[in-house]
Amino acid sequence: MPKKGNKRWQQSRQPMSQEPHDIADDGEKKNRSKKDIQLLRGFKDILPADQGPVQYLQTKATELAKFYGFGKIDTPLLEMTSLFRRSVGDVTDIVEKEMYTFTDAGGDSVSLRPEITASVVRAYNEHGMLNLPQPVKVFYWGSCFRYDRPQTGRYRQFNQFGLETIGEMNPAVDAEIILLSYLFLKEIGLKVEMQVNSIGCPNCRPEYKKNLIAYYRRKKRNLCGDCQRRLLKNPLRLLDCKEEGCQELKSEAPQIVDWLCEECKNHFMRVLEYLDALSIPYNLNSFLVRGLDYYTKTVFEILPVAPDDQPERRQSALGGGGRYDGLSAVISGKEAPGCGVSIGIERLVIEMRKQSVEPPAKKGPQVFLAQIGEQAKQRGFQLLEEFRKEKMAVGQMFAKDSLKSQLELADKMGVKYVLILGQKEVLEGTILMRDMEGGVQENVDLDRVVTEIKKKLKDGKIRSV
RNA sequence: GCGACCAUGGUGUAACGGUAGCACAGGAGUUUGUGGCACUCCUGGCGAGGGUUCAACUCCCUCUGGCCGCCCCA
């Protein structure tokens, strides 16, 4: 128990049960417990003051997705490890070294999801959504987990907003996904550009891969160390390298577009036609490849537009996606084409700050209810309910007794009016209405105060317009 | 996984080889029913472990954490 400490905590502390390991009676134990309660590395608390941007984004995302006919889906944070091994890919970095994997009490190997698409496709199959009118369009908003070294815009728990359209091959689907990704960011006020590519399908990609490997094998000596490994492990990623030497080699490397089969080429052309028709700014980037194995045909990334003063600065993607026509078969054995996108919320928030984009300021209550004395407190609670029924925001702090501190709080909240309810007023059935700007006060009937305040605020609005 | 830098109250900072000031925030009061200003008082700190030293918050090492870059990705 606290020896001197703050009086104001003690009341509430008394009834708490004593946790045996938590009684810090000497320095050593105190230190240990301080460390034990530390935030886990790469994780983050989002405090009340920081909720604004996230909530704003969520509202925007939900509105957009719903308008276009996407229904919300929530899937568990935890899945069988094999789901991700099979879908994301066994030899990807994500699965190889970034998953939070453990054995549960029943002996199953389970993992915190490193991404959400696989779960959505799993749910699609598991709940027979292939019997619904196709395609099935869903969106999600939730946390993913990757055990990676934290840095700017990278956390071990991060949030993704995503859209998935499953059960349809039509290139209009790809276009819609790209369009919505673009619209979402544009409406938030971010300047972004889309990078688009097609990486073919199991019919044409192997042939291209063969050629790519052949090309690079001849130049192996000039490749950086990473790329020499990539050549063996994941040759497509050779195209992603930022080393100067590799960049040079890349410029003469075979390009996937030249190797696409008729079907893939056709599909890609039609997607691009849509993008042109919709005036979506995009760059064809024949070197764009993605880190997840399940992509086929269309792939894209959303990049922030580099600031004018440093156009060379590398930007990490705000989001990305593409088509995954083989994913369902890999997960369930049943064919179902699909296309989707996922967008990193934390990166969006960072980018908004970088581009000085402010979410519209949420206005707090315009009225504060102050009370003095027990009776007034009780009556105050009732009055507050009357305001709530009218859906009017009213600030209060019934935990405070002194009028002074309540007024201070009201001032900090920036309210226009403070309602002061004391013993005298309760007995008279009135309440004091104080205009915080001029300091003028008037007595109002307790029964009429809600309508009175409503009128005042409305008048003020008209005046200010 | 690799590399750079950093680590003082809730936040932002200052100083010093002899155990810490300041500002803001928070609480109480000057005004026991009245805010914004002012004043007074209070709460609260050297991330952990080891070493050098008579003495370390200060120097050295390790760990932990933060931040940034690479890798990868959202």
Interface predicted TM-score (ipTM):
0.87
Distance measured from the CA of protein residue A350 to the C1' of nucleotide B25, in angstroms: 25
- Closest to A259 (Cα-Cα) out of A297, A332, A208, A294: A208
- Closest to A205 (Cα-Cα) out of A92, A325, A93, A329: A325
Distance measured from the CA of protein residue A27 to the C1' of nucleotide B55, in angstroms: 22
A367-455 homologous superfamily: Anticodon-binding domain (3.40.50.800)
Q: C1' nearest to CA of A344: which nucleotide? A: B74
Domain A48-204+260-354 belongs in CATH node 3.30.930.10: yes
Distance measured from the CA of protein residue A342 to the C1' of nucleotide B64, in angstroms: 34
Using the C1' atom of nucleotide B72, identify the protein residue whose alpha carbon is closest. Answer: A93
For A216, the 3-state DSSP assignment is helix
Distance measured from the CA of protein residue A33 to the C1' of nucleotide B70, in angstroms: 35
Distance measured from the CA of protein residue A334 to the C1' of nucleotide B24, in angstroms: 62
Digit-by-digit pLDDT tens for chain A (465 residues) are 233 333 334 333 333 333 333 333 333 333 344 556 778 899 998 888 888 899 999 999 999 999 999 999 999 999 999 999 999 988 888 888 899 999 999 999 999 999 999 999 999 999 999 999 999 999 999 999 999 999 989 999 999 999 999 999 999 999 999 999 999 999 999 999 999 999 999 999 888 888 888 888 888 777 777 777 777 777 787 777 766 677 777 878 888 889 999 999 999 999 999 999 999 999 998 888 887 888 999 999 999 987 665 555 567 899 999 999 999 999 999 999 999 999 999 999 999 988 888 888 778 899 999 999 999 999 999 999 999 999 999 999 998 888 998 999 999 988 999 999 999 999 999 999 999 988 889 999 999 999 999 998 887 665 443
Phi, psi of A220 (to 5 degrees): -45, -40
Q: Do A322 and A300 meet the contact criterion of CB atoms below 8 Å apart? A: yes
Using the C1' atom of nucleotide B70, identify the protein residue whose alpha carbon is closest. Answer: A242
Q: C1' nearest to CA of A410: which nucleotide? A: B35
The CATH 3.40.50.800 portion of chain A extends over: 367-455
Supply the DSSP string of A103-172, one letter for each residue: E-TTS-EEEE-S-SHHHHHHHHHHTTGGGSSSSEEEEEEEEEE-----BTTB-SEEEEEEEEEES---HH
Phi-psi region of A216 (alpha: psi -120 to 50; beta: other; left: phi over 0): alpha
Distance measured from the CA of protein residue A454 to the C1' of nucleotide B29, in angstroms: 37
- Closest to A147 (Cα-Cα) out of A102, A117, A105, A83: A102
Using the C1' atom of nucleotide B31, identify the protein residue whose alpha carbon is closest. Answer: A404
Longest dimension (CA), chain A: 96
**Predicted local confidence at residue A462, as pLDDT:** 54
For A182, the 3-state DSSP assignment is helix
A177-204 burial, b at 16+ Cβ within 10 Å, e below that, comes to bbbbbbebbeebebebbbbbbbbbbeeb
Q: Do A152 and A162 meet the contact criterion of CB atoms below 8 Å apart? A: no
> Can you tell me the distance from the alpha carbon of A444 to that of A431, in angstroms, rounded to the nearest whole number?
5
**Predicted local confidence at residue A179, as pLDDT:** 97
- Chain B bases near protein CB atoms (7 A cut-off): 1-3, 26-29, 31, 33-36, 43-44, 47-49, 64-74
Distance measured from the CA of protein residue A141 to the C1' of nucleotide B65, in angstroms: 29
Q: C1' nearest to CA of A319: which nucleotide? A: B74
Using the C1' atom of nucleotide B74, identify the protein residue whose alpha carbon is closest. Answer: A344
The CATH 3.30.930.10 portion of chain A extends over: 48-204+260-354
Q: C1' nearest to CA of A320: which nucleotide? A: B74
Distance measured from the CA of protein residue A421 to the C1' of nucleotide B40, in angstroms: 30
**Predicted local confidence at residue A175, as pLDDT:** 97
Distance measured from the CA of protein residue A339 to the C1' of nucleotide B55, in angstroms: 69
What is the gyration radius of the CA atoms in chain A, in angstroms? 29
Distance measured from the CA of protein residue A26 to the C1' of nucleotide B47, in angstroms: 18
Q: Do A111 and A100 meet the contact criterion of CB atoms below 8 Å apart? A: yes
Q: Does the pTM exceed 0.80?
A: yes
For A318, the 3-state DSSP assignment is coil
Q: C1' nearest to CA of A2: which nucleotide? A: B43
Q: C1' nearest to CA of A44: which nucleotide? A: B66
Q: Both ends of chain A: CA-CA distance in Å? A: 57
Q: Which residues contact A332 (CB under 8 A, 6 or more apart)?
A: A121, A122, A125, A126
Q: Do A121 and A166 meet the contact criterion of CB atoms below 8 Å apart? A: yes
> Can you tell me the distance from the alpha carbon of A405 to that of A370, in angstroms, rounded to the nearest whole number?
10
Q: Let me know if A366 is exposed, middle or buried by CB neighbors in 10 A (0-12, 13-18, 19+).
A: buried
**Predicted local confidence at residue A7, as pLDDT:** 37
**Predicted local confidence at residue A461, as pLDDT:** 60
Q: C1' nearest to CA of A343: which nucleotide? A: B74
> Can you tell me the distance from the alpha carbon of A296 to that of A336, in angstroms, rounded to the nearest whole number?
13
Q: C1' nearest to CA of A405: which nucleotide? A: B35
For A392, the 3-state DSSP assignment is coil
